Structure 1
Amino acid sequence: MKILHTADLHLGRQFFGLSLEADHAEILDQIVSATAANDVDLLVVAGDVFDRAAPPESAVKQFNAFLRRVVAETDAAIVMIAGNHDSSGRIAAMSILSDPDRALIRGGAEAVERPLLLKDAFGEVAISALPFSYEYAAREAFEDEGISSPEDVLRAQVAAARAEVPEGARWVVVAHAFVDGGAGSEGERPLTRVGGIETVAASVFDGVDYVALGHLHRPQQVGAAHIRYSGSPLAFGFDEAGAQKSMLLLELNGQGVAAIEAIPFTVTRGVRELRGTLGELIAGEGSNDFIRAVLTDQTPLIEPMKRLREVFPNACQIVLAREERASEVKALGGQVSAMSPIEMVGSFLETVRGNGLDEGETTVIAAALHAVKTKEGAQ
């Protein structure tokens, strides 16, 4: 059985105020093409279909057109869950007219977690869809006032799902969570209130053959090779500049996961950071990429963003290197209490000139500090 794992589409999102509708259209087209070209049996969308609970009408139309194409152009079944950015009611409503033998669409936690059952040459595969749920909603669904964290929620969901898996069936779980050991990025919204613990242990998924996760935007495995984030198809912050985005194609045999392959997405507009003087950047080759420019000019600039956008029309952010460095020096003040005087000087020089103390400088500073200490002791 072939499964295509995707997540975190965030339809309707903007990048620093710039529309991503055309970029999302490219991505959705590539998902449909990969599903058809690889004879995929199951397409997974592991949450955060939309970027907010009330997405723009254009995003809803875009996703509905995507689903129609998957149904018309492929034979794949679809499993989809709500993520923390989605409205659980909106996602759940999509299941009303769907074919129960070909689709499992889940918006909120339920006490009975019945799977979608598919068959291949090796027998049955049970796919459990566990949507993101806040604690208060899970307490009501499971009638358990002891649920107080995202891990409690997911443990209750997994236990309910496990009870519905047929004897001998291989088991795939689709979930939206922050699993211990995962690497986050600036584009993700916390899953719990300030001060709460949002991570869950990988052991929650013991006994599952493959875990298709959503929420973290970087493609990665956590805890074990069969527990995976596909990552988001698009970068949503400059901390992901240059990252290769992908969807995961996996194949199940009779024992479980036989192979996992990353299918890269191609994008018209990438995310990049450029560093140099304004003159150097605008003299270079232009592009439509989203640009964060770190300008190294030491003198004031006139309308730098306007001039930058003549070459890079999707420039989003300008950072002045001198201010960035000053900010780093200021931040250093919070660390000095834990440093020796020599370490403090070395760290300061590392920040402002790019390298710390050499042997000769260390000797001079050590001698000066010794002289000061000796003088203080004599008073």
Structure 2
Amino acid sequence: MRILHTSDWHLGRQFHGLSLDEDHDHILVQILAVIDDERPDVVIIAGDVFDRANPPQSAITRLSQFLTTVRAASDAAIVIIAGNHDSAAQIGAMGVLADGGAAIVRGPLDEDERPLVVSDAHGPVAISALPFAFEYAARLCFDDDGIGCPADVIRAQLASARKHVAEGMRWVVVAHAFVDGAATSESERPLTRMVGGIETVSAAAFEGAHYVALGHLHRPQPVGLDHIRYSGAPLAFGFDEEGQQKSVSLIDLAADGTVTVTEVPLRPLRQVRTIRGKLLELLAAAEVSNDIVRVVLTDDTPQIDPMKRIRAVYPNAVQLAYERNERPVELRLEEQRAAIDDPQTLSSAFLEFIRGEPLSDAEGQIVASALQSFATMEEEA
């Protein structure tokens, strides 16, 4: 059986304020071409279809058009789960778009995790689609107050799913999780709402599955074993992903359950890259480019209106820094994780990510006032 595994599209996302609509269109056309060329039996989208719970209508339309095209041009079964960026209810409602063929579209949790069963010449394959859910929702669904972390949620889902996988069946699990040992990127949101909570899941939790199609992390990579795999995001969403070859994963599942993995490369409409040097040298050597650019100036002194001058040749320059102020990626990532404990810092970091500028002094005062009001309410309660 041939499976196309993709995830983390983040439709509707912006890159430091820049729309990625055209970039997504460019990539989705390529994924459709892979489906047309490779004729997979199953197409899996392993969560984070959208970038936020309330995506723009343009993002919903893109998914609708994609699924409609797949249905018209292919007999592939469709498997979609909600990720941590998605609205579970909205993804669940998307099931109507996959009508007309084999499909399983899972948004909300279900205490009875029944698989989609697809057969090939070698027999049936059970596909368990396990949507992402936070701990509190899983406690209610599985009536288990002991669920306290993402690993517990996955274990409860897998325990329910295993009941419906008959002996001798090949088993594919689709999940949205952070598996221990995988490499992260800056643009991924934590999977637990508990400060200091453990968000990783052991690869051993998936014992018995012949292939595990994972979503959440943006780097294409196996974790522990070749059959436990992230397809990665099809676009770069942060400068730490510069130079990564984005792809979809093509999985050939043999009669005995062994897998062969082929990464099919995708070509972005615009590269995400960093340019470095003195301002005048960069301007003199540059040709106009639509790439999404981060500029690191090596000038010893601050330059006059550098971003405006850079954008004359790099109209999609979104970030500027001086080399003397640069911090290692690892330190920036650690600071971002630590910011979760400080709502004021987190608010500023969120705005800087969305629009390219942190909280202004006036905005900071508004946030501080609101946080103080919440603290007062909690004390009174």
TM-score range, shorter chain: 0.7 to 0.9
Q: 1:139 aligned to 2:122? A: no
Deviates more, 1:276-285 or 1:29-38: 276-285
Once structures 1 and 2 are overlaid, which stretch shifts more, 42-51 or 165-174? Answer: 165-174
Partners in 1 of 2:114 and 2:320 — Cα distance? Answer: 50
How far the C-alpha of 1:53 sits from its partner, in A, is: 0.2
Structure 1 residues 162-241: aligned runs within 5 Å = 162-193=162-193, 194-241=195-242
Inter-CA distance 325–157: structure 2 relative to 1 (3 Å threshold): closer
- Contact 1:246 1:265 (C-alpha < 8 Å) held by counterparts: yes
Change in 2 beyond 3 A, CA 1:325/1:266: closer
**Secondary structure of the structure 2 residue equivalent to 1:34:** helix
> How far apart, in 2, do the equivalents of 1:115 and 1:20 lie?
34
- Corresponding residue of 2:6: 6
Match of 1:41 in 2: 41
Contact 1:250 1:257 in 2 (8 A): no
Percent identity over the alignment is 60
Letter in 1 for 2:157: Q
Give, in angstroms, the shift of residue 322 of structure 1.
2.2
Matched residue SS, 1:31: helix
Structure 2 CA distance for aligned equivalents of residues 98 and 298 of structure 1: 58
TM-score (norm 2): 0.84
Out of 287, 290, 297, which is 2:289 matched to?
287
Q: CA deviation at 1:255?
A: 1.1
Correspondence list, 1:23-102, <5 A: 23-96=23-96, 98-99=98-99, 102=102
Q: Secondary structure at the match of 1:95?
A: helix
Range with bigger deviation, 276-285 or 125-134: 276-285
What whole-Å deviation, never above 9, does each CA across 1:328-347 have from its counterpart, x for those lacking one? 9xxxxxxxxxxxxxxxxxxx
1:251 maps to 252
Taking the aligned partners of 1:100 and 1:36, their CA distance within structure 2 comes to 18
Q: Which amino acid aligns with 2:270?
A: R
Larger Rg: 1
Contact 1:172 / 1:211 at 8 angstroms: preserved in 2? yes
Out of 313, 316, 333, the residue aligned to residue 315 of structure 2 is 313
- Which residue does 2:111 correspond to in 1? 111
Greater relative contact order, per chain length (Cα 8 Å cut-off, separation 6+): 2
Task: Name the CA distance, whole Å, in 2 between partners of 1:302 and 1:16.
Answer: 22
Alpha-carbon distance in 1 for matches of 2:78, 2:319: 38
Cα 1:242–1:156 change in 2 (3 A) is same
Contact 2:71–2:100 (Cα < 8 Å) also in 1: no
1:324 alignment partner, one of 317, 323, 326? 326
Q: Can you list the C-alpha shifts for 1:317-359, whole angstroms capped at 9, x where unaligned?
A: 1111123379x9xxxxxxxxxxxxxxxxxxxxxxxxxxxxxxx
State the alpha-carbon separation in 2 of the partners of residues 26 and 283 from structure 1: 31
User: Does the 8 Å CA contact 1:101/1:116 hold for their aligned counterparts?
Assistant: no
Superposition CA RMSD, Å: 1.8
CA spacing shift, 1:130–1:185, aligned 2, 3 Å: same
- Provide, for residues 264-312 of structure 1, a one-character-per-residue CA deviation record: whole Å limited to 9, x for no partner: 1101201001110111212223321111111001123111111111111
Q: What SS class does the counterpart of residue 64 from structure 1 fall into? A: helix
Deviations 1:245-277 (Å, cap 9, x if unpaired)? 110001011111331100011012010011101
Match of 2:276 in 1: 275
| Residue 21 (structure 2) aligns with | 21
- Cross-structure match for 1:129: 129
- The CA deviation at 1:100 is 7.9
CA distance in 2 between partners of 1:149 and 1:274 (Å): 41
1:302 and 2:295 matched: no
User: Following the alignment from structure 2 to structure 1, what is the Cα–Cα distance between the partners of residues 66 and 281?
Assistant: 42
Residue ranges of structure 1 left out of the alignment (5+ in a row): 329-379
Kindly state the Cα deviation for residue 96 of structure 1 after the two structures are TM-superposed.
4.2
Give the aligned residue type for 1:160.
Answer: S
Quick one: which amino acid aligns to residue 255 of structure 2?
G
The AA in structure 2 aligned to 1:248 is S
